[in-house]
Structure 1
Amino acid sequence: MLMGLAANRLHHESTEGALLEFLRLAESGLREMDIGFHAVGRTYDAITQFGMLQDYPQLKRYPRGSRGGLMKLVAEVVGMPEPGRTLDGAIYLIDPVDPSSIFPEALALKRQCLIHSKPFLSTVASARDWLEMERIHAGLPRNPQADALHAFEKQTIALIAHDALKPTMLDFAARNFDLLSRFGRRVGTGTTGQRLNEMAWSKGWPADTPWVDRFNSGPLGGDAQIADLVLDGRCQRAIFFEDPHVARQHEADIQLLERAVTTVTYETVCTTAPQIAQRWCDAAVLRSHQKPGREQG
């Protein structure tokens, strides 16, 4: 497996940065899975400067972002004809107040991951959750250090979808109804929330009890309301099916929710591609039937 790797300056300028914390937590698991990285210049430099991933042959340096490194990752998410130049996804730890996080190449990296159904991991929690998901699919025992990410009964999950993907969200929720029902709370916006409740009632959920707590529709501020939950630590996971092919009339509200997720990088997992969300659900079910193995990060 080959991933792009980048982090905004805040996340790699000191040993307390999110990039270094992620590698400390996940290094043994990354080595176990033999995951390769194409790392943008300063991200690579910070990894070597702070002595992380030592003697790791799967780490390759790309140019700095200002010299096209992130643009190269975008092209490799799409896929290049040369051997070893097609990425399976990207870890891009975002500082939401860093201007480079909204440069065209940064936005394109996420968009192309969405289009090609590849993981785009913008928080430490998302990257750790993805690593555990891939370990489970590889047949490895669950890692006890990831148990907190899977304590669903104590968590709130947001289920959100753009108009073109509302049917996809309904199908996804119906297919994974038992798993999603394990969460302590489910929240959604406007029409999506209502349709999810109707689906749940058709499956026998008590008719006088909402399966999803509904907030306003996105254009009327529902994304901002859920962002408030995220910032207060009251929403730990967001499944947000974004449509990359259409203009979004309430773009600022959507960006606000995305910025909230990256602000609490250690606490919130965000998944935006339906295929990746399903892969996570499949792994979560498999994991729930496993006994814990030794800690891997």
Structure 2
Amino acid sequence: MTIAIIAHDGKKAEMVAFIKDHAPLFQQKNIDLIATGTTGSHLERAGLEVKRMESGPMGGDAQIASRLVEGKVDMVIFFRDPLGKHPHEVDVNMLMRLCDVHNIPLATNQAAAMRFVKTL
């Protein structure tokens, strides 16, 4: 199972804390984590293993969306900052739309992500 991890800048600390709190779950042999570049670097600094894509504004959201369309992503955890402006919002919307098109579970906040981890 591959889980994509993404977080807007204002949510990166919350994402790292969430993943660390559930590290034994995410570090299972059958789970691979991929992340946008900056989120991935935060996760790596926290001691977690993750495959990093480009940063979001440089195409990381699109890279993850491409893998999703290819059937290589099983779940997306994307802590969005609904109050911030994001220069790559079009990529974010595309990723979320493709989750809907391809019926991929998408958690956009910690409460939804908690529900997801209970299914792993």
Report whether the alignment pairs 1:160 with 2:40: no
Higher relative contact order structure (alpha carbons within 8 Å, sequence separation ≥ 6): 2
1:148 aligned partner: none
> What pairs up with 1:95-174 in 2 under 5 angstroms?
155-174=1-20
* Alpha-carbon contact 1:189-1:223 (below 8 Å) kept: yes
Match of 2:107 in 1: 271
Q: Give me the whole-angstrom Cα distance separating, in 2, the residues matched to 1:186 and 1:262.
A: 20
Q: Residues of 2 paired with 1:158 and 1:224: CA distance?
A: 12
Preserved CA contact (<8 Å) 2:107 2:116: no
Deviation at 1:284, TM superposition (A): 3.2
Equivalent residue for 1:187?
Answer: 34
TM-score, normalised via structure 1 length: 0.39
* TM-score normalised by structure 2 residue count: 0.92
Q: Identity of paired residues, percent?
A: 36
Q: Aligned-pair distance for 1:191? A: 1.2
Kept in 2, the 8 Å contact 1:231–1:263? The answer is: no
> Counterparts of 1:10-29 in structure 2 under 5 Å?
none
Distance 2:75 2:83 in 1: 24
Matched, 1:198 2:45: yes
Quote how far apart the aligned CAs of 1:276 are: 2.1
SS of equivalent to 1:245: coil
- 1:221 pairs, out of 59, 62, 77, with 59
Alignment of 1:14-53 (within 5 A): none
Residue 184 of structure 1 and its aligned partner are, at CA, apart by 3.1
Give the unaligned 5+ runs of structure 2.
none
Cross-structure match for 1:207: none
Q: Shift of the alpha carbon at 1:185?
A: 1.4
Q: Say whether the 8 Å CA contact 1:159–1:239 is kept in structure 2.
A: yes
Divergent runs of 4+, >6 A: none
Larger radius of gyration: 1
Q: What letter corresponds to residue 180 of structure 1 in structure 2?
A: F
Instruction: State the Cα deviation string for residues 259-286 of structure 1 (Å, max 9, x = none).
Output: 2211212xx11111112212432x336x
Alpha-carbon distance in 2 for matches of 1:274, 1:220: 25
Q: Is contact 1:190-1:218 (8 Å) kept?
A: yes
Give the distance between the partners of 2:89 and 2:10, measured in 1 at CA.
Answer: 15
What RMSD over aligned residues (CA atoms) do the two structures have, in Å? 1.4
Give aligned pairs, total. 119
Q: Does 1:257 align with 2:95?
A: yes
Corresponding residue for residue 284 of structure 1: 119
Cα distance, 1:238 vs. partner?
0.3
1:85-104 aligned at under 5 Å gives the runs none
Contact map agreement 1:194 1:214 (CA 8 A) in 2: yes
